[in-house]
Amino acid sequence: MTPNVGQVNLLSSDGATKDFTFDGAYFMDSTGEQIYNDIVFPLVENVIEGYNGTVFAYGQTGSGKTFSMQGVESIAAQRGVIPRAFDHIFTATATTENVKFLVHCSYLEIYNEEVRDLLGADNKQKLEIKEQPDRGVYVAGLSMHVCHDVPACKELMTRGFNNRHVGATLMNKDSSRSHSIFTVYVEGMTESGSIRMGKLNLVDLAGSERQSKTGATGDRLKEATKINLSLSALGNVISALVDGKSKHIPYRDSKLTRLLQDSLGGNTKTIMIACVSPSSDNYDETLSTLRYANRAKNIKNKPTINEDPKDALLREYQEEIARLKAMVQPGSAGPAAPDPNLIDEERKKLREEFEQAMNDLRGEYEREQTSKAELQKDLEELRAEYERANANLDNLNPEEAAKKIQQLQDQFIGGEEAGNTQLKQKRMKQLMEAETKTQKLAAALNVHRDDPLLQVYSTTQEKLDAVSSQLEKEIKKSKGYEREIEDLHGEFELDRLDYLDTIRKQDQQLKLLMQIMDKIQPIIKKDTNYSNIDRIKKEAIWNEDESRWILPDMSTNRTILPLANNGYMHEPAKQEHTLLRSNFDDKLRERLAKSDSENLANSYFKPVKQINVINKYKSDQKLSTTKSLFPTKTPTFDGLASGVIYTDALFERAQSAKRPARLASLNPNK
């Protein structure tokens, strides 16, 4: 690496050299402080002015992406980009005069193509990516946390970082298994009331990896597959943007590219930190990373200052303070009292906002074909929120209103060090040094050198030497292009093999799930809609935003069988059937009560006497005589009786089958 010209030279095993030029090149002896001051410092200054900015680290697993973004807190020179950005933001807000700032943060991860809030109450909950014309792409339900100083930001970063998914591979014992985005929102309001909002995205990408090197299996392999697919989608977006001929940019191919849509070709100033390995064993991955970064630097973004944004949180705070002050008017004597007219007006506005939110929610669910249960849940939450706000209006008193106003005003920062000249000079010095470094780099590269063929030479030999030298350079460049084509073919072949291996593993997983479904399908109850798989497939709807199928809700259709005899039963048959069931139930209860009072063990081993057998016979004969009063026709069930209740004919045959053949010859008197 040659830092003064921002050049990286990659030497292959056959002695060929590949050269890449960037805005900065830093070897292993460089520090986090040097990288931040040279590259990131101007970007953060622009964020404070109202621009959007993104810094993301890219590279193979184990190459130092997380180290570059997080760093080592205990070593001052090796602190990463994220903690240095915190110091920079709060130093800038403290030294800026006549501007009030509101700083709030969010932290999310993309794990297996699922977006999760690392700072939320439930960091396992899946969040949805949505898009609105006036707001752009955003994550619904992502928690925001107001920060007043550097320690508050560090605490959020540490808490979220501990919630990230990491896992051990052969190349890194603490490999990041997800992409993470820590976003700092800096909103500023001048004394005239104009608002500017800058946004800084600090992105730590999971590393691209090959299964043959990492030894990933099971969950690690599944994670690696999702990581590589999202990074491949990112590469496709970069290629489409650089190409200039593509009419479609595939932002929707992954959650990562969807969230970075504004950072790639949009309203954002973006810096890519490409981390590479110096090991010859990782030559192919290093070459791929350098090509990736070389394509990315050709993307043309169009950043603009975000003035008076509609979704600025600072604006909401100011409007809330103004409403509270207007609702609580000072009286002529005693404490201030709420103005009833203004409270009624506020209640009316609140009702209108609630109805509009309900209509928007219904429309959104209709567009996305979401289940009715989820819609009902969200509507209930919205109604509960409205009722709480309405109750707060009823309970409003001057003391609580003044306290709330003070709480909102305490969220603002800015101007605390406005008189610190030394701190201001240090900030301006860092900015000037970063600009000077960029100018020196451009001069060293001499990008505007003249064509040697257009220069004037004193002798023919001098011109011949210049032309020959230029020819040698062009020949060398041509050979370099030829080697580049060969390398690209080799790289594409490696990618193709990786994709084929991934397809084979996914095909195996698909066949496993299909076989399991084929085994389970016959035992699914026929009265549920999921017993008809073909119908479920037709009713399923693909949700592009969530990248998943929306299946119909499970429903059960219970079929009541009609009564026998063409849907009705004669009255005598009904009475017969009812009495039979009653006698049978009474007999069961009698036996159960008798079994509770008997000693079963003694009864079992007690000798059988002839008189006991005769008495049992008489009892059975009496029951048989009672049953013969009814017709011998076997009644049918009415759909409510259990299958264990037999008809009287079967009952008689069962009893007679148990009767001994010589029972009648026994003497009853013995």
pLDDT of residue 649: 47
pLDDT of residue 506: 81
337-361 pLDDT, tens digit each: 555 666 666 667 767 776 777 777 6
Tell whether residue 232 is among the known ligand binding residues.
no
pTM of structure: 0.64
Q: Is the pLDDT of residue 108 over 90?
A: yes
Non-local (6+) Cβ contacts of 615 within 8 A are: none
Instruction: Write down the residue that tokens 């790289």 correspond to.
Output: 491
Q: Which of the two residues, 445 and 542, has the higher pLDDT score?
A: 542
pLDDT of residue 265: 85
Token digits of residue 428? 């301006």
Q: Is the pLDDT of residue 628 over 70?
A: no
What are residue 328's phi and psi, to 5 degrees? -105, 95
How many C-beta atoms surround the C-beta of residue 133 within 10 A? Answer: 5
Looking at mean pLDDT, say which of 96-110, 336-350, 473-487 comes out highest: 96-110
What mean pLDDT, rounded, does the chain reach? Answer: 76
Measured between alpha carbons, how far is 472 from 470 in angstroms, rounded to an integer?
A: 5
pLDDT of residue 26: 92
Share of the chain above pLDDT 70, in %: 67
pLDDT of residue 640: 40
Tell whether residue 419 is among the known ligand binding residues.
no
Non-local (6+) Cβ contacts of 138 within 8 A are: 129, 130, 131, 132
Say how far residue 612 (Cα) sits from the centre of its chain: 77
Say how far residue 40 (Cα) sits from the centre of its chain: 28
Strand, helix or coil for residue 102: strand
Q: Please check whether residue 321 is in contact with residue 409, taking contact to mean a CB–CB distance below 8 angstroms.
A: yes
11: left (phi over 0), alpha (psi -120 to 50) or beta: beta
pLDDT of residue 55: 94
Confidence of residue 564 (pLDDT cuts 50, 70, 90): low
Per DSSP, which regions of 112-242 are E strands?
A: 114-117, 126-132, 136-140, 145-147, 166-167, 175-176, 179-190, 195-204
- DSSP letters along 123-157, please? TTSEEEEEEETTTEEEEET---EEESSHHHHHHHH
Measure the CA angle with vertex 647, ends 526 and 630; round to 5°: 140
Q: Is the pLDDT of residue 633 over 50?
A: no
> Average of pLDDT values for 260-278?
89
Looking at mean pLDDT, say which of 130-144, 150-164, 167-181, 649-663 comes out highest: 150-164
Tell whether residue 64 is among the known ligand binding residues.
yes
- DSSP letters along 529-553, please? GGG-HHHHHHH-EEETTTTEEEPPP
Q: Is the pLDDT of residue 177 over 50?
A: yes
> Average of pLDDT values for 362-370?
60
Q: Please check whether residue 85 is in contact with residue 183, taking contact to mean a CB–CB distance below 8 angstroms.
A: no
Say how far residue 134 (Cα) sits from the centre of its chain: 23
Q: Is the pLDDT of residue 70 over 90?
A: no
Confidence of residue 11 (pLDDT cuts 50, 70, 90): confident
Q: Please check whether residue 145 is in contact with residue 72, taking contact to mean a CB–CB distance below 8 angstroms.
A: no
Q: Is the pLDDT of residue 112 over 80?
A: yes
Q: Please check whether residue 116 is in contact with residue 153, taking contact to mean a CB–CB distance below 8 angstroms.
A: no
Q: How does DSSP classify residue 561?
A: P
77-102 pLDDT, tens digit each: 889 999 999 999 999 999 988 888 99
> Average of pLDDT values for 284-301?
87
pLDDT of residue 43: 92
382-430 pLDDT, tens digit each: 677 767 766 665 665 667 666 666 776 777 888 888 788 888 888 888 8
Non-local (6+) Cβ contacts of 482 within 8 A are: none
Q: Is the pLDDT of residue 290 over 60?
A: yes
Q: Is the pLDDT of residue 262 over 60?
A: yes
Say how far residue 474 (Cα) sits from the centre of its chain: 50
> Average of pLDDT values for 568-590?
57
Measured between alpha carbons, how far is 601 from 603 in angstroms, rounded to an integer?
A: 5
Confidence of residue 654 (pLDDT cuts 50, 70, 90): very low
Q: How does DSSP classify residue 639?
A: S
Say how far residue 456 (Cα) sits from the centre of its chain: 64
Q: Is the pLDDT of residue 625 over 90?
A: no
Non-local (6+) Cβ contacts of 247 within 8 A are: none
Q: Please check whether residue 317 is in contact with residue 102, taking contact to mean a CB–CB distance below 8 angstroms.
A: yes
Of 117-121, 217-221, 585-589, 622-626, the one with minimum mean pLDDT is 622-626
> Average of pLDDT values for 128-153?
88
pLDDT of residue 494: 76
pLDDT of residue 273: 93
Confidence of residue 616 (pLDDT cuts 50, 70, 90): low
> What does each C-alpha distance from 389 to 341, 383, 396 come to in angstroms?
17, 10, 11
pLDDT of residue 44: 93
With CA atoms as reference, report the closest residue to 35 among 62, 68, 59, 5.
68
Say how far residue 297 (Cα) sits from the centre of its chain: 28
pLDDT of residue 232: 84
Tell whether residue 120 is among the known ligand binding residues.
no
Q: Which of the two residues, 653 and 218, has the higher pLDDT score?
A: 218
Looking at mean pLDDT, say which of 104-118, 196-210, 485-499, 559-573 comes out highest: 104-118
Tell whether residue 217 is among the known ligand binding residues.
no
Confidence of residue 659 (pLDDT cuts 50, 70, 90): very low
Measured between alpha carbons, how far is 122 from 118 in angstroms, rounded to an integer?
A: 8
Of 49-63, 195-209, 377-391, the one with minimum mean pLDDT is 377-391
Q: Buried (b) or exposed (e) across 103-129, using 16+ Cβ within 10 A?
A: bbbbbbbbbbbbbbbbbbeebeeebeb
Neighbouring C-alpha atoms within 13 Å toward the C-beta of 287: 23
374, amino acid identity: E
Element at 586 (helix H, strand E): helix 571-597
Looking at mean pLDDT, say which of 269-273, 435-439, 445-449, 479-483 comes out highest: 269-273
Confidence of residue 275 (pLDDT cuts 50, 70, 90): very high
Q: Please check whether residue 145 is in contact with residue 91, taking contact to mean a CB–CB distance below 8 angstroms.
A: no
Q: Which of the two residues, 380 and 550, has the higher pLDDT score?
A: 550
Q: Please check whether residue 61 is in contact with residue 171, taking contact to mean a CB–CB distance below 8 angstroms.
A: yes
Q: Is the pLDDT of residue 181 over 90?
A: yes
Q: Is the pLDDT of residue 204 over 80?
A: yes
Measured between alpha carbons, how far is 104 from 102 in angstroms, rounded to an integer?
A: 7
Measured between alpha carbons, how far is 237 from 260 in angstroms, rounded to an integer?
A: 10
Q: Which of the two residues, 267 and 16, has the higher pLDDT score?
A: 267
Tell whether residue 193 is among the known ligand binding residues.
no
pLDDT of residue 330: 52
Q: Is the pLDDT of residue 544 over 90?
A: no
Instruction: Write down the residue that tokens 């549920």 correspond to.
Output: 528
Non-local (6+) Cβ contacts of 399 within 8 A are: 335
pLDDT of residue 486: 80
pLDDT of residue 647: 47
Q: Which of the two residues, 633 and 578, has the higher pLDDT score?
A: 578
Q: Is the pLDDT of residue 553 over 90?
A: no
Tell whether residue 60 is among the known ligand binding residues.
yes
Q: Is the pLDDT of residue 215 over 60?
A: no
Q: Is the pLDDT of residue 634 over 60?
A: no
pLDDT of residue 394: 60
pLDDT of residue 415: 80
Handedness of CA 259, 263, 264, 266 (dihedral sign): positive
The counts of H helices and E strands in the chain are 21, 17
pLDDT of residue 200: 94
Q: Is the pLDDT of residue 212 over 60?
A: no
Measured between alpha carbons, how far is 229 from 253 in angstroms, rounded to an integer?
A: 9
Domains of the chain: 3-309 (3.40.850.10), 481-540 (no CATH)
Non-local (6+) Cβ contacts of 404 within 8 A are: 324
Per DSSP, which regions of 440-588 are E strands?
A: 541-543, 548-550
Strand, helix or coil for residue 264: coil
> Average of pLDDT values for 591-620?
58
Measured between alpha carbons, how far is 275 from 27 in angstroms, rounded to an integer?
A: 10
Bridge partners of 102? 187
Using N-to-C axis directions, what is the helix angle for 571-597 and 610-627, rounded to 10°? Answer: 160
Strand, helix or coil for residue 100: strand
How many C-beta atoms surround the C-beta of residue 247 within 10 A? Answer: 5
How many C-beta atoms surround the C-beta of residue 166 within 10 A? Answer: 15
Q: How many residues does the chain have?
A: 670
Confidence of residue 117 (pLDDT cuts 50, 70, 90): very high
593, amino acid identity: A
Q: Is the pLDDT of residue 214 over 70?
A: no
Q: Which of the two residues, 236 and 398, has the higher pLDDT score?
A: 236
Measured between alpha carbons, how far is 207 from 63 in angstroms, rounded to an integer?
A: 8
Measured between alpha carbons, how far is 31 from 38 in angstroms, rounded to an integer?
A: 11
pLDDT of residue 41: 92
- Pairing state of beta strands 269-275 and 52-59? parallel
Tell whether residue 469 is among the known ligand binding residues.
no
pLDDT of residue 106: 94
